[in-house]
């Protein structure tokens, strides 16, 4: 493999922190690189089988496929929740096959993650749910007080910071989750079925919000089932089936399963 | 670590305690029971030791000499006794003194019939020991000395006192070890439940990039708090009841008072307070850190 070592010019925030990373991917602007990645669980067929994928900084990518296609496994590999059986994964210059355990938290601070079921802390209000993300990375209370209202305004929830999750609609809860994912200014936003629990109107709003986030420079990966949205948004679509990538198109659409 | 993070962690620790009140209470109660028993045994042990020490001062060894022994030899024997490390003090009782005290104690006015000292050969050394358990060694040494006729001793008293000391120590150590094992187990259970209650929160924390330390420390704080509270409650109880118990014993068994010398509560607490706190917090720390390492493989 052609290995070039160079400092990745990342988000302004990352630069401010003075972080230097090795980028072992082929292209300078590739933020996610999967090289012939396979993942087999102890039982059954491999979940991923020789997947190679390159995602550039600032891209908006849909990953689509039925259940069992390997999407979830891919997300888990990108989060370094799982380690591949073979192949190489490089995310933001971190070699995820070799990263040390104690470096994982630092790596994850560059990823924002949004789930289908929102995963908000039910006993805390909107403000605390977002502030939580900052507390974890040990941001000072003063900075938290400045950052949280601004990010809540970005997702359109400025007026609801005192509400508890159960007082919010599904769409609003997902906005809180997105705010939480964004407040630490990640380079990449991973959204795992973000509209899976939402009605069409809210789904659209969330997608528009993700698009807006992407336009502001964050690389966005969306794993989804939502055919209408994928077809309408005309973004890059990576289609997976039974652990392999069956198509990867710029401005693609949702490919119907012929089975 | 930032100060705000520190306070956040402490706060989360408290929240953990309140969130599973009943398990926290159960753990506090167990640690409390352990440390209460520990405090009780400790108080009893210290007092028994103090009483044994007083009793040791009463238990003595008596050395009688051969008939017609010279005064010089008696003094030589006295010097040899003084050299023994287990000897705390000795008194020389001359034949006349022995007769005087015998007369006073048993004969009273009937003693007038005696013109000579019938206890002419009863001059003796009365020897007091530092440590009753050393009595047999001293006795055999004394019996080997030239000019010594007999050595009188209170073997039973010595054996009993030594035995009581050892027994109390062993029993307390045994019980306390068992109780501590139970406490650690219960704290571990409480923390396990705390972790399972906050499973979702922990998962989110891990995704956001919390360090192992950040995820684990509230649970360790929780364990240590439980330990500290579990230590302070029995200490308070012991402090209150200690004087009452001693007062009760003193009034009920006033005849024993000469033998019993109790240690004031302040003296007991000078050691019991720090030891209990360290044990309580230590158990809490141990119980939680083991559990957190096992269940929070973050």
Say if A243 falls within a structural domain: yes
pLDDT of residue A19 exceeding 50, the answer is no
What is the predicted pLDDT for the residue at B2?
A: 74
| CA distance to A57, A184, A237, B142, B278, per residue, from A215 (Å) | 12, 17, 17, 102, 57
Say if B18 is an interface residue toward chain A (CB within 8 Å). Answer: no
Residue A256 in domain: no
Q: 3-class SS at A188?
A: strand
CA dihedral over B157, B159, B162, B163, signed as positive or negative = negative
How far does the CA of residue B185 sit from the closest CA of chain A (Å)? Answer: 29
A108 to B208: CB separation less than 8 angstroms, yes or no: yes
B23 class by beta-carbon count within 10 Å (0-12 exposed, 13-18 middle, 19+ buried): buried
Angle at A206 between CA A203 and CA A208, to 5 degrees: 110
pLDDT of residue B227: 92
Domain that holds residue A99: 30-249
* Closest A-chain CA to B6: A138
B residues 207-226 near A, CB within 8 Å?
A: 207-212, 214
Note the pLDDT of residue A80.
93
Q: How far is CA A63 from CA A139, A215, A231, in A?
A: 33, 19, 12
A15 domain residue, yes or no: no
Q: What percent of chain B has pLDDT over 90?
A: 10
Query: CA-CA distance, B262 to B44, in Å (whole number)?
Result: 10
- Inter-residue contact B89 to B123 (CB < 8 Å): no
The per-residue pLDDT of chain A, averaged, comes to: 85
In a domain, A13, yes or no: no
pLDDT in tens, B264-277: 888 889 989 999 99
Domain assignment present for A46: yes
| Tens digit of each residue's pLDDT (9 = 90 or more) over A160-186 | 989 999 999 999 999 999 999 999 999
Q: How high is the pLDDT of residue A5?
A: 36
Question: With contact defined as beta carbons under 8 Å apart, do B230 and B280 qualify?
Answer: yes
Residue A18 domain flag: no
Q: Which residues of A touch B (CB under 8 A)?
A: 79, 102, 105-111, 113, 119, 121, 132-133, 135-138, 140-141, 180, 184
pLDDT given at position B155: 62
Residue owning tokens 């007369």: B103
Number of domains present in the structure of chain A: 1
pLDDT category, A51, cuts 50, 70, 90? very high
The mean pLDDT of B143-160, rounded to a whole number, is: 75
d(CA A187, CA A124): 27
With residue A147 as reference, give the H or E element that holds it.
helix A141-154
Residue A129 lies in a domain: yes
Query: Number of A:B CB contacts under 8 A?
Result: 53
Which CATH number is A35's domain given? 3.40.50.300
What would the pLDDT profile of A217-259 be if each residue is shown by its tens digit? 999 999 998 888 999 999 999 999 989 999 998 887 787 655 4
Q: How far is B13 from chain A (nearest CA, A)?
A: 15
Query: Residues with Cβ < 8 Å from A192, sequence gap 6 or more?
Result: A72, A75, A113, A114, A115, A116, A223
Residue B106 touches partner A, C-beta closer than 8 Å: no
Residue of A109, A135, A142, A146 to mutate when probing chain B, most B C-beta within 10 A: A135
| A185-204 per-position pLDDT tens digit | 999 999 999 998 899 999 99
Which residues of chain A have a CB within 8 Å of the CB of B211? 102, 105
Which residue among A108, A138, A180 sits closest to B5, beta carbon to beta carbon? Answer: A138
Residue A255 lies in a domain: no
pLDDT, tens digit (0-9, with 9 covering 90-100), for B11-64: 888 888 887 788 888 888 888 988 888 888 888 878 877 777 776 666 678 888
Residue A100 has a CB neighbour count (10 Å cut-off) of 8
Position of tokens 């560059």?
A110
Radius of gyration over every alpha carbon of chain A, rounded to an integer in angstroms: 18
Answer with the residue of higher pLDDT: B153 or A66. A66
Contacts of B5 in chain A (CB under 8 A): 135, 138
| Subunit contact A108:B206, Cβ cutoff 8 A | yes
Token pair belonging to A197 = 């629990």
Q: How far is CA A146 from CA A142, B3, B244, in A?
A: 7, 18, 59
Which of A118-127, B29-38, B82-91 has the highest mean predicted lDDT (pLDDT)?
Answer: A118-127
- Specify the 3-state DSSP secondary structure of B191: helix
A110, A113, A121: residue with CB nearest B207: A113
């Amino acid at each position: 493999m052609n290995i070039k070592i160079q400092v990745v010019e990342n988000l302004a925030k990352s630069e401010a922190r003075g972080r230097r990373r090795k980028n072992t991917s082929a292209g300078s602007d590739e933020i996610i690189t999967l090289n012939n990645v396979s993942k087999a669980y102890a039982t059954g067929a491999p979940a991923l089988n020789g997947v190679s994928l390159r995602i550039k900084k600032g891209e908006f990518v849909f990953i689509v496929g039925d259940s069992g296609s390997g999407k979830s496994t891919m997300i888990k590999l990108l989060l370094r929740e799982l380690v591949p059986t073979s192949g190489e994964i490089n995310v933001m210059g971190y070699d995820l096959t070799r990263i040390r355990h104690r470096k994982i938290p630092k790596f994850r601070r560059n990823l924002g993650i949004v789930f289908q079921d929102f995963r908000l802390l039910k006993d805390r209000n909107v403000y605390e749910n977002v502030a939580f993300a900052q507390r974890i990375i040990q941001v000072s209370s003063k900075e938290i007080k400045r950052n949280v209202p601004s990010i809540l305004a970005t997702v359109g929830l400025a007026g609801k910071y005192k509400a508890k999750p159960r007082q919010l609609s599904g769409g609003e809860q997902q906005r809180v989750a997105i705010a939480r994912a964004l407040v630490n200014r990640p380079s990449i936003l991973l959204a795992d079925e973000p509209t899976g629990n939402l009605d069409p109107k809210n789904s659209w709003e969330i997608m528009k919000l993700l698009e807006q986030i992407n336009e502001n420079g964050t690389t966005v990966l969306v794993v989804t089932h939502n055919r209408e949205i994928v077809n309408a948004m005309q973004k890059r679509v990576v289609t997976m089936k039974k652990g392999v990538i069956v198509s990867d198109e710029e401005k693609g659409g949702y490919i119907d399963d012929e089975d | 670590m930032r100060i705000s993070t520190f306070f956040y962690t402490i706060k989360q620790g408290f929240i953990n305690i309140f969130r599973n009140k009943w398990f926290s209470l159960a753990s506090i109660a167990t640690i409390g029971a352990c440390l209460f028993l520990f405090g009780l045994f400790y108080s009893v042990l210290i007092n028994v030791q103090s009483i044994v020490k007083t009793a040791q001062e009463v238990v003595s060894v008596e050395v009688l000499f051969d008939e017609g022994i010279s005064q010089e030899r008696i003094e030589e024997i006295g010097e040899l006794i003084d050299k023994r490390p287990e000897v705390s003090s000795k008194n020389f009782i001359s034949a006349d003194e022995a007769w005087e005290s015998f007369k006073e104690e048993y004969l009273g006015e009937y003693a007038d019939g005696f013109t000579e000292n019938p206890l002419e050969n009863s001059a003796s050394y009365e020897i007091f020991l530092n440590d009753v358990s050393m009595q047999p060694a001293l006795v055999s040494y004394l019996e080997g000395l030239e000019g010594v006729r007999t050595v009188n001793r209170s073997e039973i008293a010595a054996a009993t006192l030594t035995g009581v000391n050892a027994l109390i120590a062993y029993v307390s150590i045994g019980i306390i070890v068992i109780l501590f094992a139970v406490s650690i187990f219960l704290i571990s259970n409480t923390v396990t439940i705390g972790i399972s209650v906050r499973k979702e929160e922990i998962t989110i924390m891990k995704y956001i990039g919390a360090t192992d330390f950040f995820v684990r420390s509230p649970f360790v704080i929780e364990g240590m708090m439980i330990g500290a509270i579990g230590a302070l409650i029995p200490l308070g109880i012991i402090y209150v009841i200690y004087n009452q118990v001693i007062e009760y014993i003193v009034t009920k068994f006033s005849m024993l008072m000469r033998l019993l010398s109790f240690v004031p509560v302040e003296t007991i607490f000078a050691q019991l307070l720090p030891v209990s706190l360290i044990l309580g917090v230590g158990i809490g720390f141990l119980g939680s850190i083991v559990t957190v390492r096992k269940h929070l493989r973050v």
